[in-house]
């Protein structure tokens, strides 16, 4: 059941909007001598109209001049050109050659993280890039004052540098929160979170970090730690609908803290009408997102109401909540199937039982491809035999 709760929560979590990022400076420690093969290469790369043509020139150079001191920069450019064409696996492959040679700089780091986020395939190397980024950002955004710069010019330059550093830092943290939920091993998640907090002790995203700890400990069946971090996340961001829904759903399905579960779910319903559309989301995407959040809240309210009334067969309120949730969750087969299963069960618990409506709900649940399919089919068979 806990795996199902995890899938439910992950299905609801919307990704952070992609962040803008100014151009980085590639290969800051490598220079090109005029009238050399490296110079010819950069003329070809800079003169190419398409990133595919740039990649072809770079790959040709790599094959012909494997012993060139410029090879780390060639690999770095290949990461960049392949990111531009969304060839993320290839970008990671080329970047791995720089990693193997212990070559790194901020441009490589940013582009490799773009590749990992695009590919959706995090590994230890991707998180190493994240943990090393603060030192690189500090080093590469700390230039000397130009000799002829006026005070005003230097002040403006420092402001621009600070903004650039902030954009870089924001993107790296964004990449972390995009990659971490794709890590299947909860122990690894905790390891990555611990390392992140050492490198980013001053992060402004503490609530998000605590929520990710909640997710990791929830996955590993460590309820006490999960509850602690879930409550910390809410303390840091008390009106976060995703956090409220996740904790409410967790408490309800674990059949603990039912009053909290109900209060959190009700708060979601109060906040949902004022939800703001994320940047880049279409109207339809936003509607689906809001319906999913609202639907889960109604389902949680229904389950809490059911648990409190099952012994006395007073579950009419639960049925009403479930029916509302089913309609809202049309875009999420797993959540809808779970709610239909609970609805069918409630129709059997109410007195007198309504076998016909129970069968209708369970038939719909059985038709959906979800972890609830088998349970719905088993209960449906019992309902049919009881008619």
Is the pLDDT at 300 greater than 60, yes or no?
yes
- The parent domain of residue 61 ranges over 37-145+152-182
Give the Cα separation of 180 and 173 in Å (integer): 11
Query: What CATH code is carried by the domain that includes residue 246?
Result: 1.25.40.10
Residues 239-266 have pLDDT tens digits of 999 999 999 999 999 999 999 999 999 9
Using omega within 30 degrees of 0 as the cis cutoff, is the peptide bond preceding 352 cis? yes
Confidence (pLDDT) at 329: 97
In a domain, 97, yes or no: yes
Is the pLDDT at 3 greater than 60, yes or no?
no
Residues 153-188 have pLDDT tens digits of 999 999 999 999 999 999 999 999 999 999 999 999
Confidence band of 1 (pLDDT split at 50, 70, 90): very low
Is the pLDDT at 49 greater than 90, yes or no?
no
Angle between helical axes of 106-119 and 71-84 (0-180°, round to 10): 40
Is the pLDDT at 13 greater than 50, yes or no?
no
Structure tokens at 382: 């019992």
**Which one is predicted more confidently, 384 or 34?**
384
In a domain, 344, yes or no: yes
Residues 285 and 373 in one domain: yes
Confidence band of 47 (pLDDT split at 50, 70, 90): confident
Give the Cα separation of 208 and 177 in Å (integer): 8
Residues 246 and 340 in one domain: yes
Query: SS3 for 336?
Result: helix
Are residues 196 and 131 in contact, defined by beta-carbon separation less than 8 angstroms? yes
Confidence band of 28 (pLDDT split at 50, 70, 90): low
**Which one is predicted more confidently, 361 or 27?**
361
Domain termination residue (choose one: 160, 182, 204): 182
Residues 266 and 175 in one domain: no
- Tell me the mean pLDDT in the region 342-369: 96
By C-alpha distance, which of 114, 245, 242, 134 is closest to 196? 134
Mean pLDDT for the chain overall? 91
- Tell me the mean pLDDT in the region 113-127: 97
Confidence (pLDDT) at 24: 58
Give the Cα separation of 357 and 340 in Å (integer): 11
In the chain, how many domains are there? 2
Give the Cα separation of 352 and 106 in Å (integer): 68
In a domain, 24, yes or no: no
Residues 206-236 have pLDDT tens digits of 999 999 999 999 999 999 999 999 999 999 9
- 147 DSSP 8-state letter: T
In a domain, 219, yes or no: no
Instruction: Please report where in the chains the tokens 């029916």 appear, as a residue.
Output: 323
Residues 125 and 244 in one domain: no
Domain termination residue (choose one: 134, 164, 182): 182
In a domain, 301, yes or no: yes
By C-alpha distance, which of 230, 220, 232 is closest to 183? 220
In a domain, 138, yes or no: yes
**Which helix H or strand E contains 230, and what residues bound it?**
helix 223-236
Residue 352: phi, psi to the nearest 5?
-75, 155
- Tell me the mean pLDDT in the region 278-302: 95
In a domain, 245, yes or no: yes
Structure tokens at 31: 């220079």
Residues 244 and 122 in one domain: no
Is the pLDDT at 199 greater than 90, yes or no?
yes
Considering the entire predicted model, what is its pTM?
0.87
Confidence (pLDDT) at 33: 65
In a domain, 15, yes or no: no
**Which one is predicted more confidently, 96 or 14?**
96
Burial code of 279-310, b = ≥16 C-beta within 10 A, e = fewer?
Answer: eeeeeeeeebbbbbbbbbbbbbbbbbbbebbe
**Which helix H or strand E contains 246, and what residues bound it?**
helix 241-254
Residues 172 and 248 in one domain: no
Confidence band of 42 (pLDDT split at 50, 70, 90): confident
Structure tokens at 387: 């008619």
Residues 267 and 176 in one domain: no
Confidence band of 94 (pLDDT split at 50, 70, 90): very high
Give the Cα separation of 223 and 225 in Å (integer): 6
Q: Which residues contact 299 (CB under 8 A, 6 or more apart)?
A: 249, 321, 322, 325, 329, 335, 338, 339, 342
């Amino acid at each position: 059941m806990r795996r199902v709760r995890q899938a439910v929560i992950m299905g609801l979590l919307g990704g952070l909007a992609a962040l803008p990022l100014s151009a980085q400076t590639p290969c800051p420690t490598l220079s090109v001598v005029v009238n050399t093969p490296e110079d010819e290469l950069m003329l070809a790369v800079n003169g190419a109209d398409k990133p595919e043509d740039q990649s072809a020139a770079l790959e040709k150079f790599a094959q012909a001049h494997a012993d060139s001191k410029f090879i780390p920069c060639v690999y770095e450019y290949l990461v960049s050109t392949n990111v531009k064409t969304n060839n993320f696996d290839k970008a990671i492959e080329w970047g791995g050659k720089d990693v193997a040679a212990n070559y790194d700089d901020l441009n490589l780091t940013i582009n490799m993280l773009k590749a990992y986020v695009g590919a959706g395939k995090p590994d230890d190397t991707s998180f190493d890039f994240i943990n090393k980024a603060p030192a690189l950002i500090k080093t590469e955004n700390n230039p000397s004052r130009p000799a002829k710069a006026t005070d005003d010019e230097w002040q403006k330059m420092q402001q621009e540098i600070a903004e650039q550093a902030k954009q870089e830092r924001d993107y790296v943290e964004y990449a972390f929160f995009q990659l971490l939920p794709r890590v299947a091993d909860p122990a690894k998640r905790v390891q990555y979170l611990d390392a992140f907090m050492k490198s980013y002790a001053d992060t402004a995203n503490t609530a998000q970090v605590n929520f990710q700890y909640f997710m990791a400990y929830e996955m590993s069946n460590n309820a006490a730690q999960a509850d602690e971090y879930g409550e910390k996340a809410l303390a840091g961001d008390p009106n976060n609908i995703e956090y409220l829904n996740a904790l409410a759903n967790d408490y309800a399905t674990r059949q603990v803290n039912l009053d909290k579960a109900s209060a959190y779910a009700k708060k979601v319903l109060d906040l949902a009408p004022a939800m703001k559309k994320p940047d880049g989301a279409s109207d339809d995407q936003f509607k689906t997102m809001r319906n999913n959040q609202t639907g889960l809240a109604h389902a949680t309210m229904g389950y809490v109401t059911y648990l409190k009334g099952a012994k006395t067969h007073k579950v009419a309120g639960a049925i009403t909540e479930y029916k509302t949730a089913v309609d809202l969750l049309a875009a999420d087969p797993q959540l809808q199937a779970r709610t239909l299963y609970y609805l069918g069960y409630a129709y059997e618990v109410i007195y007198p039982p309504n076998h016909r409506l129970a069968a209708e709900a369970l038939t719909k649940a059985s038709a959906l491809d979800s972890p609830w399919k088998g349970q719905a089919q088993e209960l449906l068979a019992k309902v049919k035999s009881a008619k």
